[in-house]
Chain A
Amino acid sequence: MAVAEVEARVARFQEQFAAIRAEIGKVIVGQEAIVEGVLIAVLAGGHVLLEGVPGLGKTLLVRTLARTLDLKFSRIQFTPDLMPADITGTHIVTETAGGARQFVFQPGPIFANVVLADEINRATPKTQSALLEAMQEQSVTVAREVRRLEEPFFVLATQNPIEQEGTYPLPEAQVDRFFFKLLVGVPSLEELRQILDRTTGTEEAAVQVVADAAALRALRALGRAVPIAAHVQELALKLTLATHPQTEYAPEQVKRFVRYGASPRGAQALVLAAKIRAILDGRYHVAFDDLRQVAAPALRHRILLNFEGEAEGIQPDSLIADILERVAAAAEPPRC
Chain B
Amino acid sequence: MPARGALVATLALERKIDRIRRRIRLLLAVRWSVRFALGGTLASLLALVIFRLADAPFPGRHAALLFAGTTAAGALFGFCRRVTPFQAALATDARLGLKECLSSALALRHDGEQTPLVAALLADATRRSAAIDVRAVYPLRLPREARFLAGALLVLALALYLPTLPRFQSARERAERAAMRAEGERIVRVAKELRQTLDARHADLNRRLAHNLEQLGKGMQAARIGKKEALVRLHKLTREVTAAQRQQALAGGTRSLSRAGEALKQAARAAEAKASSPEAGQRLRQMGEALRRGDTEQAARLLQELANRAVSGKLSAQERQQMAQEARQIAQALADTSLAEAARPLQEAAKQLQQGQLAAAARQFEQAGGTCQSGGASRSASQMRQVEQALQQARRQLAEAGQEKAPESGQTLARGEGDGADGRSIGSMMGEPTAGQASPDAGRGTTNQQQSGGPMGGSAPEERQAAERPRGQAPFERLYAPERVATNRIDTQVRGKQGSGRSDLTPVRGAPKRGDAYQPYYEVYSSYRRAAEEALSKEEVPATCRKQVRDYFQSLQP
The yes or no answer to B218 lying at the interface (CB within 8 A) is no
Q: Give the contacting residue for A3; candidates B86, B107, B123; CB below 8 A.
A: B123
Distance from A179 Cβ to chain B, minimum over Cβ atoms (Å): 22
Q: A333 and B93: CB pair below 8 A?
A: yes
Q: Which of A86-94, A151-159, A189-197, A222-230 contacts B (4 or more CB under 8 A)?
A: A222-230
Q: A227 and B115: CB pair below 8 A?
A: yes
Chain A interface mostly = loop
Closest 7 CB pairs of A and B: A287-B99, A1-B116, A333-B90, A229-B107, A229-B104, A284-B121, A285-B104
| 6 residue pairs from A and B, CB less than 8 Å apart | A5-B116, A231-B90, A283-B121, A334-B87, A336-B83, A336-B91
A5 to B1, CA, bound (A): 10
Q: A2 and B118: CB pair below 8 A?
A: no
Q: Which of B23-31, B266-274, B414-422, B502-510 contacts A (4 or more CB under 8 A)?
A: B23-31
Q: B99 and A6: CB pair below 8 A?
A: no
Q: B108 and A333: CB pair below 8 A?
A: no
Residue of A at shortest CB range from B90?
A333
- Give residues of chain B (67-105) contacting chain A, Cβ–Cβ below 8 Å: 83, 86-87, 90-91, 93-94, 99-101, 103-105
- Give residues of chain B (226-280) contacting chain A, Cβ–Cβ below 8 Å: none
- Give residues of chain B (353-406) contacting chain A, Cβ–Cβ below 8 Å: none
- Knowing A229-B108, A336-B91, the reply to whether A7 touches B120 (Cβ < 8 A) is yes
| Complex interface: chain A residues within 8 A of B103 (CB) | 229, 231
Q: Give the contacting residue for B121; candidates A2, A5, A227, A231; CB below 8 A.
A: A227
- Knowing A3-B1, A227-B115, A284-B117, the reply to whether A332 touches B94 (Cβ < 8 A) is yes
The yes or no answer to B138 lying at the interface (CB within 8 A) is yes
Q: A232 and B104: CB pair below 8 A?
A: yes
| Complex interface: chain A residues within 8 A of B115 (CB) | 225, 227
Range of interface residues on B (Cβ < 8 Å): 20 to 34
Among A2, A230, A336: residue with most chain B CB under 10 A = A336
The yes or no answer to B539 lying at the interface (CB within 8 A) is no
The yes or no answer to B319 lying at the interface (CB within 8 A) is no
| Complex interface: chain B residues within 8 A of A6 (CB) | 116-117, 119-120
- Annotate B105-129 by CB proximity to A: 1 below 8 A, 0 otherwise: 1011001000111111101100000
- Annotate A73-95 by CB proximity to B: 1 below 8 A, 0 otherwise: 00000000000000000000000
- Knowing A333-B93, A336-B138, the reply to whether A227 touches B87 (Cβ < 8 A) is no
The yes or no answer to A249 lying at the interface (CB within 8 A) is no
Q: A285 and B101: CB pair below 8 A?
A: yes
Residue of B at shortest CB range from A282?
B124
A227 to B121, CA, bound (A): 9
Q: Tell me how many residues of A have a C-beta within 8 Å of chain B.
A: 28
- Knowing A3-B116, A6-B116, the reply to whether A336 touches B24 (Cβ < 8 A) is yes
| Complex interface: chain B residues within 8 A of A230 (CB) | 107
Residue of B at shortest CB range from A289?
B99
| Sample of 8 more A-B contacts, CB < 8 Å, known A287-B104, A332-B94, A333-B94 | A3-B1, A3-B119, A227-B121, A231-B90, A285-B121, A286-B104, A334-B87, A336-B24
Q: B100 and A232: CB pair below 8 A?
A: yes
A183 to B100, CA, bound (A): 29
- Give residues of chain A (207-257) contacting chain B, Cβ–Cβ below 8 Å: 225-232
| Complex interface: chain B residues within 8 A of A283 (CB) | 99, 101, 121, 124
The yes or no answer to A260 lying at the interface (CB within 8 A) is no
Distance from B378 Cβ to chain A, minimum over Cβ atoms (Å): 70
Q: B107 and A336: CB pair below 8 A?
A: no
Q: B91 and A3: CB pair below 8 A?
A: no
| Complex interface: chain B residues within 8 A of A289 (CB) | 99
| Complex interface: chain A residues within 8 A of B123 (CB) | 3
A127 to B31, CA, bound (A): 65
Distance from B84 Cβ to chain A, minimum over Cβ atoms (Å): 11
Q: A231 and B107: CB pair below 8 A?
A: yes
| Complex interface: chain B residues within 8 A of A285 (CB) | 100-101, 104-105, 108, 117, 121
Q: B27 and A336: CB pair below 8 A?
A: yes
Residue of B at shortest CB range from A287?
B99
| Complex interface: chain B residues within 8 A of A227 (CB) | 104, 108, 111, 115, 117-118, 121
| Complex interface: chain A residues within 8 A of B28 (CB) | 336
- Annotate A305-336 by CB proximity to B: 1 below 8 A, 0 otherwise: 00000000000000000000000000011111
Q: A334 and B91: CB pair below 8 A?
A: yes
Among B86, B103, B104, B119: residue with most chain A CB under 10 A = B104
| Complex interface: chain B residues within 8 A of A231 (CB) | 86, 90, 100, 103, 107
A196 to B124, CA, bound (A): 46
A285 to B100, CA, bound (A): 8
A231 to B83, CA, bound (A): 16
A72 to B87, CA, bound (A): 49
Distance from A232 Cβ to chain B, minimum over Cβ atoms (Å): 6
Residue of B at shortest CB range from A279?
B117
- Annotate A2-28 by CB proximity to B: 1 below 8 A, 0 otherwise: 110111001000000000000000000
Residue of A at shortest CB range from B124?
A284
A199 to B101, CA, bound (A): 45
| Complex interface: chain A residues within 8 A of B93 (CB) | 333
Q: Give the contacting residue for B100; candidates A1, A226, A229, A336; CB below 8 A.
A: A229
| Complex interface: chain A residues within 8 A of B116 (CB) | 1-3, 5-6, 225
| Complex interface: chain B residues within 8 A of A333 (CB) | 87, 90-91, 93-94
Distance from A113 Cβ to chain B, minimum over Cβ atoms (Å): 27
| Complex interface: chain B residues within 8 A of A2 (CB) | 1, 116
- Give residues of chain B (112-152) contacting chain A, Cβ–Cβ below 8 Å: 115-121, 123-124, 138
A336 to B93, CA, bound (A): 13
- Give residues of chain A (273-290) contacting chain B, Cβ–Cβ below 8 Å: 281, 283-289
| Complex interface: chain A residues within 8 A of B91 (CB) | 333-336
| Complex interface: chain A residues within 8 A of B111 (CB) | 227
- Knowing A334-B91, A336-B31, A336-B91, the reply to whether A288 touches B117 (Cβ < 8 A) is no
Distance from B432 Cβ to chain A, minimum over Cβ atoms (Å): 76
| Complex interface: chain A residues within 8 A of B86 (CB) | 231
Distance from A282 Cβ to chain B, minimum over Cβ atoms (Å): 9
Q: A3 and B100: CB pair below 8 A?
A: no
Distance from B121 Cβ to chain A, minimum over Cβ atoms (Å): 4
Distance from B68 Cβ to chain A, minimum over Cβ atoms (Å): 24
Distance from A324 Cβ to chain B, minimum over Cβ atoms (Å): 16
Residue of B at shortest CB range from A235?
B100
Q: B120 and A3: CB pair below 8 A?
A: yes
Distance from A221 Cβ to chain B, minimum over Cβ atoms (Å): 11
Residue of A at shortest CB range from B105?
A285
| Complex interface: chain A residues within 8 A of B138 (CB) | 336
Residue of B at shortest CB range from A1?
B116
A3 to B116, CA, bound (A): 7
A27 to B105, CA, bound (A): 41
| Complex interface: chain B residues within 8 A of A1 (CB) | 116
| Complex interface: chain A residues within 8 A of B87 (CB) | 333-334
| Complex interface: chain B residues within 8 A of A335 (CB) | 91
Distance from B113 Cβ to chain A, minimum over Cβ atoms (Å): 12
A2 to B90, CA, bound (A): 27
Distance from B310 Cβ to chain A, minimum over Cβ atoms (Å): 90
| Complex interface: chain B residues within 8 A of A336 (CB) | 24, 27-28, 31, 83, 91, 138
Among B100, B105, B115: residue with most chain A CB under 10 A = B100
A13 to B117, CA, bound (A): 14
Distance from B124 Cβ to chain A, minimum over Cβ atoms (Å): 6
| Complex interface: chain A residues within 8 A of B108 (CB) | 227, 229, 285
Distance from B106 Cβ to chain A, minimum over Cβ atoms (Å): 8
A228 to B108, CA, bound (A): 8
| Complex interface: chain A residues within 8 A of B27 (CB) | 336
A287 to B90, CA, bound (A): 11
Among B1, B99, B115, B138: residue with most chain A CB under 10 A = B99
A52 to B87, CA, bound (A): 44
